[in-house]
Amino acid sequence: MKCCENHGQQNVPENEVQAKKEAKPSDQFSVTFSIDKLLSYVLITLIVGTIVVGYSLVSNKNKTQAANSTNTNVQGTSQTNTDDMASHHGGGGNKKFEPLAEGSVAPDFSLPSTVGKTISLADYKGKNVFLFFNEGVMCSPCWQEISRLERFKDEFENLNTVIIPISVDDQKTWDPILVEERITTPILIDTERKVTSMYKALGTPSSMHDDRAGHTYIHINTEGQIHSSADFPNMNVPANDLIQHIQQAQT
């Protein structure tokens, strides 16, 4: 019987046996390859999609900022424009800036200052004066602007011009900011809001609160008259724009 069993078996070459053991089913290879390829495509798609979305967000932000930019020329204008900070500053366009008439005599005043002495408008008779009614310590763009303007002190002096910041905050409230920003410019303290109200600087489009100024400039010329007024809801007026305004006013 063993003889017959041996004759019933076929002799298969050893190398063919090894090849069959190592061979993978073609359908398994195809499925594995397809999944790997699919995952690669998905990963690439996610990366490209992330880049496209990011670019779109940045592009839209830049367009919005460009559309909301405001004109900072203060010559002879009463600006009531708004920007993307309008909701933060009292609604912007829902308020109006109605300044004193151009050519009218600027009301005189005297107020205590952060340098410990009382300052009057009359002290600057014969000079161009910018009254900078600002929101005070709660508005970092305001006191940062005061600090920046100090760097142009010589330029303003050469133009016979002084800048007088005015806010409703008291000395104690201002002191930490003055130290931090190294501000030496006297800031006038109008806690009773009499001067701010007299110059129509309360509740303007740039104001966050109706009982405070926002970001308003009043130009008083060398004759002591209102030359121009402007309100800036964008809370920023470059020093070069003020210098250019004075230069144009003097020509």
pLDDT digits (tens, 9 = 90+) for 27-67: 454 545 567 677 777 777 778 767 756 655 645 544 444 34
User: For position 52, what pLDDT does the model report?
Assistant: 59
Please provide the CATH number assigned to the domain covering 74-250.
3.40.30.10
pLDDT, mean over the chain: 79
**What spatial distance separates the first Cα and last Cα of the chain, rounded to whole Å?**
129
CA 71 – CA 65 distance, rounded (Å): 13
pLDDT over threshold 70, residue 161: yes
pLDDT over threshold 50, residue 101: yes
Q: Kindly list the domain boundaries of the chain, sorted by start residue.
A: 1-68, 74-250
What one-letter code names the amino acid at 78? S
pTM of the model as a whole: 0.66
pLDDT higher at 249 or 92: 249
| pLDDT category of residue 189 using cuts at 50, 70 and 90 | very high
